[in-house]
Structure 1
């Protein structure tokens, strides 16, 4: 009996000393209100699961904190993935260990803090071994475009962001930031995988990166972040799609689809870039990889159809600054560039950025066994300085490369064939040059979530339904109000007297049924005002300012005066604009501050009697690298008696992270343009800081000169084949560098040098 009692006592003691299963104590909470969540938020333990009720949750600032375990994380999820919508001023913060979040959607609002999702509660309480998966952030933007925030900020260590969907970041700030601003966030071993990064529109200044790992201040610190199997589609924010500013990161298996910009090794050493796919498909400014700093490895990548140049080229090795400060450009040293395929890549730039400051050429580097094939037979290499510090061997090209590289690049005609993975390889399969044949191409549908659509970036003009307006302003205004995205409104012949400001907040086309026979007049200071979500196309119309107010500063079209966060487009074709002369400074088109146009196009139009400018795009005068329009096109137009300029386009500052502005002006006729007393620039066309300007085959009669002011970015200006009749020759000035201007001014004809 005593033995049995001892046995029971020992058994009880053993049970007391055994570790208790945390999972057995876990609780599942179904949360239907913010108060419900607040009641449980402070008592969560390992294994607990919070389920948020399907609903639109407004102004919900979620803090998920606690100590989970690897086998029993604390979980926050949606009742149904995709049906828990966080809107208004909402965000999510995680702090603790082993926290998992999934199934949420952020839309119709913006974060009240520095990030939509933060892997920290505050600067002291961070997240470790935590995961955010299957989360959507869709156009969740601060209405002040210049107010900076992140969509996701990773702190702590060993965290994962995966299978999530990010689209439409429009205000300043990196979409995803890995922060290294404390020891507990360094050497973090974070993992970012299988995410879908959709359209990020051109931002129009620095601050539009999609992913940044580190900052210049901590760039000599190692991060050990893995960026693997993500899809970047139309991530066009600025020249750096991915900005690496730390060491020992790996970027592997990612796809860049028609993305304007590059994967940039901006700061930090010892990063690996491998097995990534770049499909440019001939889209302007699509780039590849830019190399700076020490010990970078770029291997087994496939790049095809890339059009970018200079810092945004298909492949760039940059010059550095001797004894560089931590935030400038460190010399390229010990780079290994091996087994990459460059197929129809327009530009490979070596020692790029060479200038009076960046004089440290690449050293102790290797470029071997790369395949360089351009089907147009244009060789892609540009050498901007001494490249003897890059040793070449085993490279193959189908073009004759510069003499300084010929020793290490064999010229060989090769036929390419499409392999099972969809990539192009030489028909000769035993070549050692180029990307490996077993390279896997990530499919878009294998990234993000399967319950949220991956929609086109923008609505195309004329892609919706067609509506006919028979007569009268009232019918036209009703048609505009009721139209859907991409719709076309066809105006019957007649007069449309508009007495109210017409707000454009959708993609819309107004088109005359018979060219020139639908006439619009307006009684407000502006006829059309473009708002967020709006893009406008006008075709075949006659627009008169004769009924506008007798006051200065009228416009036919303008954007919101302030507060726009979404990019827009404006196109006008084959139209006639007249009598913009009721008072002075009557512009045809004027941009508001902060507004940004992806496209402004005028083709086949006639403008007569205008006291202001045709396109006034010069509101960003603080010289911070901000500007108002990316592509500006004027073709086959006639401008008669315009007191201002046909275009005033301004981009100030020294920032080099953007592509534009870009101007094409061809086959236009200017007669008596630019001599108004209020035209302070005294020019018919005034460009400041424009990056690319092609001014071709125009006729200027009795007009003020074309004036161009070059700033930073090695601008490319071509003024060619123009006729200047009683018009001064163009003026091109270099404002940032000494010496003669770099513009090509050629094959122009000047007659009647005196003003008539």
Structure 2
């Protein structure tokens, strides 16, 4: 009986202790930064600090404390989604068992190089801590070259989950695991929504990265599970794995340009991921490098990437590679994956004089490859004796690149309840991705209380039309217009005394070039943050502009430029832009990045500068200024230069720039410069069906990568033939020069 009483007494004591501890936990609501600073110094296990609803501007949050597994310390919002952290703000966590939730970072940028950091400094990091239901929305500096990470994971056993990261436009990884020592990190990154990261135009635009090359031969053992990546187009590596022992499980990649890349590190697992490309250019799958990688049970449909962005890109390595180059693929297991309607599967990707080590001791087994055409997606760029093929099933193709280990037959598919395609024939049940695969849906990730974008990029769809008949009304309509609106100008002449500031996506339309705009300042339009511009049916004259160098019709606000803009010029005419030397139509620089420039059915006459001027050339810097340039059915008469597009450096992490010029006339142009068109480092060039007369030549310089250049069906009258140079590649220029006519009169 004495023993029983002692046990009962001990239980009562434990219960009392638990009750007292629970009762000691406090909820502290704070309404300003000073109150927060006092509260955080006093927190104990189980305490909750609530930030009052509203805007918290220029708030450098330090959240430090020692919670326990049973009683973490929490920093949260009074109401999730109603606490906005703005201006120059950031968050640092340090200690153990900390939880942050419910905050929204927007309308600003970090004053340091991290928005959320799991450390206070190099000696005080966070462990066993969690960031959940947090939103970072377009929290960017104005200059895309300034680098920061939105989330940096330090320490060990931390988690980032059910959060939302949308609209990063500047350099730096969206979410990075930073490894300062070769220890196992064991972080978990799950159920997050990563959305609409546009191209950076340089290396450093990854959405997720684990480690760096310096620590890549040690194991991180982090888990990336059931996240949704939508239009994550920053660079060729959506996910950049640079450590060992990591698991990428059940993630969905939706129309994202690039790939999940096992860049460095060994013994990683990629399983149950789903890639929906929907035919979007450069959408890829998985790139394989290094030793003992396992890639199984993944599903890819409609991925249109080639080269490094192929559905599978199994790379060649560098013999005796240094740690930051390309280690040879060894012991890879690529099993039970399904690839439907993929543009390319590349084996030996990147093979060249340096990357000369083919895969060894590797297996490609029980994969299902189905295409709607008879074109074989396989491209073999290396010797494959080190790869065994067995049990693979492929739909019939005209000229198979591989024979042993493949059965080719007609394959009829049906979409299962999970939304994926599977063979109707039960005999193929053991080939390809399993029927138990359940793709994570967009609505299962991120937060429910803050909207996810429905689409990315610039949208000129008409919301409302403002009709204008005078110069005074034009200025007023511009101020009143909302994003997507059209300002419709009646026929007549409009005189603009001051530059028109554009900070929304606007269309300014005239009446079939019977609407003339004359401007008296050095610029007519200035694009600011959020701005995009479509000009249609206008006649724009520079005859009233000041006679001074540096004039430009459309320029960017150097202090507040748009993060990712677009310019479209449709059925418009530009004249008398020659009051002084160097009068340009559009001037851009690598400091800011343009999504696209489109010029169609237009005319440019007497332009002393360039129609498109890249104003800064930064030597080895790989940054470039515009992703896509499309010019068609347009005339250029007496212009200094049609376009000058530059991308330097030797980085291979981008898909652009892209340039097309079709069905246009270039006359008496580019003679002073010696060239009417100068392209350097452009990855895709298509110049077709144009007529050049009495003009400077086309000059094209190829840099790194695999540039695709075609100059076909053009007429060059009294104009020198195109010149194509190779900076790095050996041999003749990589260009299709076909059916062009050179020489003769105009």
TM-score scaled by length of structure 1: 0.95
For residues 351-392 of structure 1, the C-alpha deviation after alignment (integer angstroms, 9 at most, x for no partner) is: 011111111111111111111112133211111121222211
Match of 1:330 in 2: 327
Contact kept in structure 2, 1:210 and 1:235, CA below 8 Å? yes
Contact kept in structure 2, 1:57 and 1:86, CA below 8 Å? yes
Aligned partner (choices 662, 665, 689) of residue 661 of structure 2 = 665
Match of 2:389 in 1: 392
Match of 1:47 in 2: 46
Cα distance, 1:268–1:401 mapped onto 2, change above 3 Å: farther
Contact kept in structure 2, 1:140 and 1:169, CA below 8 Å? yes
Contact kept in structure 2, 1:588 and 1:614, CA below 8 Å? yes
For residues 91-140 of structure 1, the C-alpha deviation after alignment (integer angstroms, 9 at most, x for no partner) is: 11111111111111111111122211111111111111111100001111
3-state SS of the aligned residue for 2:261? strand
CA drift at 1:579: 1.1
User: How many angstroms apart in 2 are the aligned matches of 1:422 and 1:269?
Assistant: 32
Cα distance, 1:561–1:218 mapped onto 2, change above 3 Å: same
User: How many angstroms apart in 1 are the aligned matches of 2:489 and 2:536?
Assistant: 10
Contact kept in structure 2, 1:63 and 1:93, CA below 8 Å? yes
User: How many angstroms apart in 2 are the aligned matches of 1:729 and 1:13?
Assistant: 94
Match of 1:166 in 2: 165
Match status 1:264 vs 2:264: no
CA drift at 1:418: 1.3
User: How many angstroms apart in 1 are the aligned matches of 2:534 and 2:653?
Assistant: 30
3-state SS of the aligned residue for 1:311? helix
Match of 1:126 in 2: 125
Cα distance, 1:77–1:106 mapped onto 2, change above 3 Å: same
Match status 1:435 vs 2:427: no
Match of 1:510 in 2: 508
Contact kept in structure 1, 2:94 and 2:126, CA below 8 Å? yes
User: How many angstroms apart in 2 are the aligned matches of 1:533 and 1:518?
Assistant: 26
3-state SS of the aligned residue for 1:684? strand
Match of 1:151 in 2: 150
Contact kept in structure 1, 2:589 and 2:615, CA below 8 Å? no
* Structure 2 gap segments, 5+ residues each: none
CA drift at 1:562: 5.6
Match of 2:181 in 1: 182
User: How many angstroms apart in 1 are the aligned matches of 2:249 and 2:402?
Assistant: 28
CA drift at 1:659: 0.7
User: How many angstroms apart in 2 are the aligned matches of 1:645 and 1:214?
Assistant: 45
CA drift at 1:282: 1.2
CA drift at 1:450: 0.4
Match status 1:589 vs 2:581: no
Cα distance, 1:562–1:668 mapped onto 2, change above 3 Å: farther
Contact kept in structure 2, 1:416 and 1:426, CA below 8 Å? yes
Cα distance, 1:22–1:670 mapped onto 2, change above 3 Å: same
Match of 1:90 in 2: 89
Match of 2:496 in 1: 498
CA drift at 1:246: 0.3
Match of 1:114 in 2: 113
CA drift at 1:572: 0.5
Match status 1:575 vs 2:572: yes
Contact kept in structure 2, 1:313 and 1:349, CA below 8 Å? yes
Cα distance, 1:721–1:604 mapped onto 2, change above 3 Å: same
Aligned partner (choices 544, 547, 559) of residue 541 of structure 2 = 544
CA drift at 1:191: 0.7
Contact kept in structure 1, 2:378 and 2:401, CA below 8 Å? no
For residues 200-255 of structure 1, the C-alpha deviation after alignment (integer angstroms, 9 at most, x for no partner) is: 11111111111000001111111111111101111111111100000011011111
CA drift at 1:288: 1.0
* Structure 1 gap segments, 5+ residues each: none
For residues 704-742 of structure 1, the C-alpha deviation after alignment (integer angstroms, 9 at most, x for no partner) is: 111110110111101111111111111111111222111
CA drift at 1:483: 0.4
Cα distance, 1:12–1:407 mapped onto 2, change above 3 Å: closer
Contact kept in structure 2, 1:170 and 1:565, CA below 8 Å? no
User: How many angstroms apart in 1 are the aligned matches of 2:726 and 2:694?
Assistant: 26
User: How many angstroms apart in 1 are the aligned matches of 2:400 and 2:11?
Assistant: 84
CA drift at 1:538: 0.6
User: How many angstroms apart in 2 are the aligned matches of 1:463 and 1:304?
Assistant: 33
CA drift at 1:149: 1.2
- Mapping of residues 410-559 of structure 1, within 5 Å: 410-431=407-428, 432-455=430-453, 456-469=455-468, 471-512=469-510, 514-559=511-556
User: How many angstroms apart in 2 are the aligned matches of 1:288 and 1:697?
Assistant: 35
User: How many angstroms apart in 2 are the aligned matches of 1:604 and 1:567?
Assistant: 24
CA drift at 1:459: 4.4
Match status 1:717 vs 2:709: yes
Contact kept in structure 1, 2:695 and 2:719, CA below 8 Å? yes
CA drift at 1:50: 1.1
CA drift at 1:14: 9.6
User: How many angstroms apart in 2 are the aligned matches of 1:479 and 1:354?
Assistant: 57
User: How many angstroms apart in 2 are the aligned matches of 1:573 and 1:408?
Assistant: 54
Contact kept in structure 2, 1:620 and 1:628, CA below 8 Å? no
3-state SS of the aligned residue for 2:106? strand
CA drift at 1:24: 3.4
Aligned partner (choices 281, 285, 289) of residue 286 of structure 2 = 289
CA drift at 1:16: 10
- Mapping of residues 228-243 of structure 1, within 5 Å: 228-243=225-240
3-state SS of the aligned residue for 2:699? strand
3-state SS of the aligned residue for 2:474? helix
User: How many angstroms apart in 1 are the aligned matches of 2:276 and 2:711?
Assistant: 32
TM-score scaled by length of structure 2: 0.96
Contact kept in structure 1, 2:373 and 2:397, CA below 8 Å? no
Match status 1:649 vs 2:629: no
User: How many angstroms apart in 1 are the aligned matches of 2:399 and 2:292?
Assistant: 26
Aligned-pair RMSD on alpha carbons? Answer: 2.0
Match of 2:78 in 1: 79
Match of 1:33 in 2: 32
Contact kept in structure 1, 2:379 and 2:401, CA below 8 Å? no
CA drift at 1:48: 1.0
3-state SS of the aligned residue for 1:22? helix
Worse-superposed segment, 331-340 or 399-408 = 399-408
User: How many angstroms apart in 1 are the aligned matches of 2:9 and 2:458?
Assistant: 72
Match status 1:705 vs 2:703: no
User: How many angstroms apart in 1 are the aligned matches of 2:571 and 2:458?
Assistant: 22
Contact kept in structure 1, 2:143 and 2:592, CA below 8 Å? no
3-state SS of the aligned residue for 1:333? coil
3-state SS of the aligned residue for 2:402? helix
Match of 2:304 in 1: 307
User: How many angstroms apart in 2 are the aligned matches of 1:669 and 1:17?
Assistant: 88
User: How many angstroms apart in 1 are the aligned matches of 2:482 and 2:419?
Assistant: 38
Contact kept in structure 1, 2:39 and 2:49, CA below 8 Å? no
Contact kept in structure 2, 1:637 and 1:667, CA below 8 Å? yes
CA drift at 1:13: 13
Match of 1:694 in 2: 686
Contact kept in structure 1, 2:575 and 2:604, CA below 8 Å? yes
Match status 1:750 vs 2:716: no
Cα distance, 1:12–1:217 mapped onto 2, change above 3 Å: closer
Contact kept in structure 2, 1:128 and 1:158, CA below 8 Å? yes
User: How many angstroms apart in 1 are the aligned matches of 2:291 and 2:645?
Assistant: 39
User: How many angstroms apart in 1 are the aligned matches of 2:412 and 2:279?
Assistant: 20
CA drift at 1:150: 0.9
3-state SS of the aligned residue for 1:673? coil
